[in-house]
Structure 1
Amino acid sequence: MPDSRPMPQIGRHRLPNRVILAPMAGVTDRPFRQLCRRLGAGLVVGEMVTSDPSLWNTRKSRQRMDHTGEPGPRAVQIAGGDATMLAEAARLNAAQGAEIIDINMGCPAKKVCNKAAGSALLRDEALVADILESVVAAVDVPVTLKIRTGWCADSNNGVRVARLAEEAGIQALSVHGRHRQQRFQGEAEYDTIAAIKQAVGIAVFANGDIDSPRKAAQVLDYTGADAVMVGRAAQGNPWIFREIDHYLRHGACCAKPDADERAEVLRGHLRALHGFYGDYMGVRIARKHLGWYLASDSRLDADRQRELRAAFNALELPNEQCTFIDDLFCPEHEAELAWATNGTSAA
């Protein structure tokens, strides 16, 4: 059944649909955010930015904070462990055009948790409350929060943290259905997300292992969440946002992208990466994205993926990478893939 509830709202921003691109360091840069938005994401969140302004002058930080040409609402995620510093970072980002400030309390990376930031904060609920109240008070734009279910299996405190968030004035809450010690291992659980949705009146976004339109619908139905947040499943498959949105609206799957559209999207993504990062870094960053695109192509077995990835990774110039895409989707190559797929099916 199509979801007939009103679309979720974050402060004054009503989202156009129920599927959101999760913030991912090293992935959700401006080219990828723009692509996912164009292919159906109702909201995209930028890469995590440190709350220490003294570190913002590095090239990496400047690129992470670059939202030039992006439609609103512009959502910026900040991370840190000091309430005063996070509040100042929120204020400065809002002054630079951020329309939503998201606080990271979900990152499981050691280098983040070792600095008492990310999901490590979930161990100190008093500090959590201090941070949330300080950041909300510092800005006039809505503030959201991303968490995990807890620090470990014995400290599954997501419901308590959610209540603290609502009391502090947080406008929406994204919950990854794993505790920190799981990192990305095992399967996400949605019981805690459902309990959080029952416990608070703010918008709740379900995150974790949402990799298909049907899975998105099942998670929304099971948890009662207002939207789903998609992360790793969008790598190499930005069409997933369009597919999920269509399924939630119509109860049926839409057509998969054909070869022409896949080629067009890959070419455009490569050109955007080259333009954003420059030729040297753009070529290198494009390599991981092409690897994800190859991995998402069900017609390619693991050996063929490795061959193509190795050939692409050896290229050093932007025009060589673009020519690679032209060759990959040439009629002769498509015919070869079709034959291989049919042959495998027939076997």
Structure 2
Amino acid sequence: MKLKIGNVTLENNLILAPMAGVTDLPFRILCKEQGCGMVVTEMVSAKAILYKNRNTKALLEVEERERPVSVQLFGSDPEIMADIAKLIEPGPFDIIDVNMGCPVPKIVNNGEGSAMMKNPKLAEAVLGAMVKAVKKPVTVKFRKGFTDSDVNAVEFARMAESCGVAAVAVHGRTREQYYSGTADWDIIRRVKEAVKIPVIGNGDVFAPEDAKALLDETGCDGIMIARGAKGNPWIFSRTLHYLETGELLPSPTMEELQNMVLRHAKMLVEYKGEYLGIREMRKHMAWYTAGLPHSAKLRNDINAVETLADLETLVMERFAGHFR
């Protein structure tokens, strides 16, 4: 189950997808501890690094214990992307990834993210310049296509391979779909058949069984887990166990869930300060408890909590009574 990307060898082929507002340092560490083979940072604007935007420093912060780490850049200017890749290359990043799949309007309207799929020549210039500029492996993440009438993932993957990109990650949805409907795993299979570099499949992996099905149906080399990891770092340990043994481990117990929530909250406060850390924990709490009985009131009450001490008290009380 090891996966080699350029000169970087991962212990296994499970990868935490980059997610804005989710895959910060504390969450990456929690997923790494659960056996994730590689984590990816939140996407970082190359122009923001160039202009020394103060918010980028935190996005680029990495700890040794979470490695191997892939840092994800986005941008559309070949020279800037190459220069920034070279600038950050000495940092604690093992791989430099390029986002050509983000569907968010403000990114797309700027000609970046998944908009790059509409301009393969520019995408080629960006990837080619970056590969030439750095020695570390460069990878790229993109979608099935921009619209259903313009599905070009196979051609895009071949172009990336010809630029010297070390691996591609393919999300089986178009930009038009965002995250709706179902991911088209067949396009991942077709990309895998079209290129020799590793292909990482992404889309609709919410359980260990999904990961195995994705591997079986597409022949992809790696699995990138995004929304399936929200509030569920255990998806990595449970999936690894399932792929290795065929045995499906039980979902985490209420005690394990409580301990993870408390640890996550503490790490967020240590990393971002109490004010921001507690506020960010609110959305994570919604993900951790989604679908559980009597969880709506807990999520509502967490939104009124201001301090770590109060959050800890509320969690201990409510988990003991299973949220009642």
> What is the TM-score of this pair, normalised by structure 2?
0.96
Give 5+ residue unaligned stretches, structure 2.
Answer: none
Displacement of 1:55:
4.2
Indicate which of 22, 27, 31 corresponds to 1:27.
Answer: 22
Indicate which of 294, 315, 318 corresponds to 1:325.
Answer: 315
**Larger displacement relative to structure 2 (248-257 or 312-321):** 248-257
Are residue 210 (structure 1) and residue 205 (structure 2) matched? yes
- Which position in structure 2 is the counterpart of 1:195? 190
- Which position in structure 2 is the counterpart of 1:8? 3
- Which position in structure 2 is the counterpart of 1:154? 149
- Which position in structure 2 is the counterpart of 1:57? 53
Write the deviation string for residues 89-140 of structure 1: whole angstroms up to 9, x where unpaired. 1111212222200000010000110110000000111111111100111111
Give 5+ residue unaligned stretches, structure 1.
Answer: 1-5, 338-347
Residues 55 and 267 from structure 1, CA distance in 2 versus in 1: closer, same or farther, beyond 3 angstroms? farther
| Counterpart residue identity of residue 85, structure 2 | A
Instruction: Please tell me whether Structure 1 or Structure 2 has the larger radius of gyration of its CA atoms.
Output: 1
Indicate which of 234, 241, 253 corresponds to 2:229.
Answer: 234
Displacement of 1:229:
0.6
Aligned-residue RMSD, C-alpha: 1.4
- Which position in structure 1 is the counterpart of 2:66? 71
Write the deviation string for residues 38-84 of structure 1: whole angstroms up to 9, x where unpaired. 012111000000011244432x3211111134332221000011111
Residues 28 and 66 in structure 2, CA contact (< 8 A), matched pair in contact too: no
Indicate which of 107, 114, 122 corresponds to 2:117.
Answer: 122
| Counterpart residue identity of residue 265, structure 1 | M
**Larger displacement relative to structure 2 (70-79 or 191-200):** 70-79
Over the matched positions of the two proteins, sequence identity in percent amounts to 39
Q: Separation in 1 of the partners of 2:318 and 2:233?
A: 19
Are residue 269 (structure 1) and residue 264 (structure 2) matched? yes
Q: Separation in 2 of the partners of 1:87 and 1:276?
A: 30
Write the deviation string for residues 250-293 of structure 1: whole angstroms up to 9, x where unpaired. 11212322222222111110000001110111111111101111
Paired positions, count? 323
Corresponding residue SS for 2:65: coil
Q: Separation in 2 of the partners of 1:23 and 1:112?
A: 15
Corresponding residue SS for 2:42: coil
Q: Separation in 1 of the partners of 2:260 and 2:149?
A: 44
User: What pairs up with 1:237-252 in 2 under 5 angstroms?
Assistant: 237-252=232-247
Residues 56 and 293 from structure 1, CA distance in 2 versus in 1: closer, same or farther, beyond 3 angstroms? farther
- Which position in structure 2 is the counterpart of 1:139? 134
| Counterpart residue identity of residue 315, structure 2 | I
Write the deviation string for residues 201-241 of structure 1: whole angstroms up to 9, x where unpaired. 01111101111111110111000001111101111111111
Displacement of 1:177:
0.2
Q: Separation in 2 of the partners of 1:99 and 1:8?
A: 14
Residues 39 and 102 from structure 1, CA distance in 2 versus in 1: closer, same or farther, beyond 3 angstroms? same
> What is the TM-score of this pair, normalised by structure 1?
0.90
Q: Separation in 2 of the partners of 1:314 and 1:124?
A: 46
Residues 229 and 235 in structure 2, CA contact (< 8 A), matched pair in contact too: yes
Q: Separation in 2 of the partners of 1:55 and 1:182?
A: 33
Q: Separation in 2 of the partners of 1:219 and 1:74?
A: 23
| Counterpart residue identity of residue 191, structure 2 | I
